[in-house]
Chain A
């Protein structure tokens, strides 16, 4: 069964027909050609398909595209301003925060979504005082980024990059 939906992806309006069985991730990659989000585990366990959906970080492999008619999506590709990379992307390069780079688009989107959560004062399970201000310690970064796996094991540099990118 097909359905017509409209998405705004990295600032561009897209209209497409999707099979109701199509995940948002497959619609982005195969339907629109937005290949920054990656198909890793495809079961919600690795975070490589993370994008910003209406400003919030989400995985896209466990949600159907048909349920997101009208959504505004930013992938890692849409973060750059032309040739100018986003400061978080630059931090990943400067800190050597990847080897193969497969998880990086998801890591970068997740990091930015995470920073917005911190900015809004949302605690994590690593936060001592649930009602107080949140300080972005390395422990907080590790806890809040735990949904993004890196099989190359670049975690130490990822923490450094996220800390830099937060400035």
Chain B
């Protein structure tokens, strides 16, 4: 690991100031992804700005019924928060299905959003990777692609975003507050992460000195149900092959509100707008007949899927997981 300059951020503004003007700078919070990348040589910042002691660790219930989550709130604390467990089960379950207990006790909200792909080629310095070293090529294409994207990928990169939490937040229409050198701005979570295109080294729309300070969740109307379903190669402590975050409100037998996001299938949490369009306004009564519309919705979303040699299974897996998640919600299961 190359030496770096460690700076403890004095306050939130001071953190941004300390990170400004450096080519290689990173904010350090939980460190569970960044420190690993520094050990591997994937990341080599000259300056680390430690934000872990900033007062960004509160979860606040907002007057409108929403929730403001500070950037350094630990994943474990967020999952355990009474308001999250009561009002946003999709988020609690997504958090609890990620990593392990002793990793969640370190990992933070902002860091979880900014974690980088677990593509094995990205993490292996001996193989070309456009994300790690632009212009060198993609080793995954034509290689091992079980964990890779089926939606929104490019000829330059087929990596997936590994977060569970971000998938739930995408379905919850979360808003991300960012402090940069020119002040504060709010970015919808679904616009925070980028598709790879021809710049796969840019995971998000943020610049290195932009600091995520909070994530806000709007309130869910009375009668809204939500869940997270994750499919993986082992029962616990594994990244998703496919995951589904779903939010559903059925009134008088008709879908009034539905929001679906998919994980493990794209370079970003994938909001399934096409599926939502099929579902919105459809009659749903909790009977087996619902399955037809759930299936049509999932297939509408996946019509644009472009699987690779090693991950064609993800298309039916994603379809079936969407159907199963919606069935669970419409039948009032967890």
Contacts and interface: CB of A to CB of B under 8 A. Distances in A.
Interface string A120-160: 11111100101100000000001111111000000000000
B92 interface: yes
B52 A146 contact: no
Interface residues of A, number: 41
Main secondary structure, interface of B, reads: mixed
A140 to B, nearest CB: 11
B100 A146 contact: yes
A67 interface: yes
B100 A47 contact: yes
Contact of B79 (A20, A122, A148): A122
A113 B104 CA distance: 12
B92 A130 contact: yes
Contacts of B236: 125, 142-143, 146
B1 interface: yes
B156 interface: no
Contact of A125 (B6, B76, B97): B97
B93 A113 contact: no
Contacts of B5: 1, 20
Contact of B35 (A23, A57, A147): A23
B136 interface: no
A40 interface: no
B36 A62 contact: yes
Interface residues of B, number: 40
B31 A21 contact: no
Interface string B1-21: 101111000000000000000
Interface in A53-97: 53, 56-59, 62-64, 66-67
A62 B86 contact: no
B110 to A, nearest CB: 15
A12 to B, nearest CB: 23
Contact of B106 (A43, A59, A114, A142): A59
Contacts of A122: 76, 79-80
Contacts of B103: 44, 59, 62, 147
B89 interface: yes
Contact of A64 (B31, B40, B79): B31
B102 interface: yes
B334 interface: yes
24 contacts: A21-B1, A43-B39, A44-B36, A47-B100, A63-B32, A66-B6, A66-B50, A113-B105, A117-B76, A117-B101, A120-B80, A123-B80, A123-B92, A124-B96, A125-B96, A130-B85, A130-B89, A131-B85, A131-B86, A142-B236, A143-B235, A147-B99, A147-B101, A147-B102
Interface of B: 1, 3-6, 28, 30-33, 35-36, 38-40, 48, 50, 52, 76, 79-80, 82, 85-86, 89, 92-93, 96-97, 99-103, 105-106, 235-237, 334
Given A67-B28, A67-B31, 19 more contacts: A20-B3, A43-B39, A57-B102, A62-B32, A62-B36, A63-B31, A63-B35, A63-B106, A64-B48, A67-B50, A67-B52, A120-B80, A122-B80, A123-B96, A130-B85, A131-B82, A143-B236, A146-B236, A147-B103
